[in-house]
């Protein structure tokens, strides 16, 4: 039976990049999206094709759900249960930028509430639901004893360099990502004894629809040395980090942060 990954916000961008890499490893993937069903369908077709390149047969299913809404989160997990009946990996990837980049002194409460609901409340309560289900699965396997197949469930959350780099024209986004930087140690500590590992991925400047509006600005910054590795990151770069995590290369680690940022986080003099 294939392992199963639920990836939020996988219709486009980084989420799609992660789904593609997992498909190549033989994961069945649940592709969550908000409204872009066509893009989700394209991700599914790409995942099935990617799996074929490595000789795997996988299932890929799309699932519309707004992760900021409790009923949608419940429905998403229920669909994962009825479709796959197991969950090996939750990737909390879906996230939004503010609709308008407003100076801190002018930022609106409406934008703040919406952004925190999607970027913080969604991952927190989805992690709670996924962790409860993973614990149930662990209990069933414990009863089966030595006959149980190995099961090493994991939760990976995509934060951002904005968790620590202050951008005064999108303070709500920075605060939301800083909150995710505490989500990982919290769940890592709570779930470690049950064999559930929890990690944070902290991408830098990645070429997706989210960064398209500021492409020219970042082109110039990268050209002038913003990142020690002088290029844009790609969704596949982030997907590769997830591959490293799920391939059990970090068996005695949890709560770790993986920077996927071309060295942006390095202090230089
Ligand atoms: P993106 O290209 O804008 O894609 C966003 C994805 O999230 C889409 O699949 C979208 O679905 C989905 N989504 C949005 N709101 C949702 C909601 N309420 N419920 C469920 N799904 C929702 O974004 P991205 O650049 O790939 O970013 C992915 C994650 O990486 C985000 O958390 C972002 O903050 C983080 N990140 C990005 C960068 C970067 O440079 N791009 C850097 C650091 C961190 P639809 O297609 O249906 O709209």
Contact indicator for 128, 14 with CB cutoff of 8 Å: no
Residue ranges of alpha helices (H) inside the chain are: 13-25, 37-53, 70-84, 109-116, 122-144, 171-191, 215-223, 235-246
Q: What one-character DSSP code corresponds to residue 206? A: B
Domains of the chain: 4-260 (3.40.50.720)
Residues having CB closer than 6 A to ligand 1 are: 8-15, 32-36, 39, 66-68, 93-96, 118, 158, 160, 203, 205-206, 208-211
Locate 125 and state its tokens.
């309560």
Which one of 20, 34, 101 would you pick to mutate in the ligand 1 pocket, going by the greatest count of ligand atoms within 8 A of its CB? 34
pLDDT for 150: 87
pTM: 0.98
pLDDT for 252: 97
Q: What share of the chain is helix, strand, coil (3-state, %, to 5)?
A: 50, 15, 35
pLDDT for 145: 86
| Per-residue pLDDT of the chain in tens (269 residues, 90 and over written 9) | 999 999 999 999 999 999 999 999 999 999 999 999 999 999 999 999 999 999 999 999 999 999 999 999 999 999 999 999 999 999 999 999 998 889 999 999 999 999 999 999 999 999 999 999 999 999 999 988 878 888 999 999 999 999 999 999 999 999 999 999 999 999 999 999 999 999 999 999 999 999 999 999 999 999 999 999 999 999 999 999 999 999 999 999 999 999 999 999 999 99
Give the Cα separation of 246 and 208 in Å (integer).
24
């Amino acid at each position: 039976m294939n392992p199963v990954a639920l990836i939020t916000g996988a219709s486009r961008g980084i989420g799609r990049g992660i789904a593609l890499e997992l498909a190549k490893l033989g994961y069945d993937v649940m592709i969550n999206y908000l409204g872009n069903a066509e893009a989700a369908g394209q991700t599914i077709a790409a995942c099935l094709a990617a799996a074929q390149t490595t000789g795997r047969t996988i299932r890929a299913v799309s699932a519309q759900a707004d992760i900021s809404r409790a009923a949608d989160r419940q429905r998403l997990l229920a669909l994962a249960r009825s479709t796959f009946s197991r969950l090996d990996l939750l990737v909390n990837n879906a996230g939004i930028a503010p609709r308008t980049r407003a100076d801190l002194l002018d930022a609106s409460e409406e934008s703040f509430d919406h952004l925190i609901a999607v970027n913080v409340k969604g991952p927190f309560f989805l992690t709670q639901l996924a962790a409860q289900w993973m614990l149930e699965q662990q209990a069933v396997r414990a009863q089966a004893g030595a006959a149980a197949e190995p099961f090493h469930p994991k939760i990976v959350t995509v934060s951002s360099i904005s968790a620590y780099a202050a951008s005064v024209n999108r303070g709500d986004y920075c605060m939301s990502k800083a909150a995710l930087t505490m989500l990982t140690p919290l769940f890592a500590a709570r779930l470690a004894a049950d064999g559930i590992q929890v990690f944070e991925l902290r991408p830098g400047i990645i070429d997706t629809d989210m960064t398209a509006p500021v492409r020219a600005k970042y082109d110039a910054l990268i050209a002038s040395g913003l990142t020690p590795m002088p290029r844009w990151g790609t969704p596949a770069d982030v997907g590769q980090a997830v591959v490293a995590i799920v391939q059990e290369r970090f068996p005695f680690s949890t709560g770790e942060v993986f920077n996927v940022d071309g060295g942006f986080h390095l202090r230089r003099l």
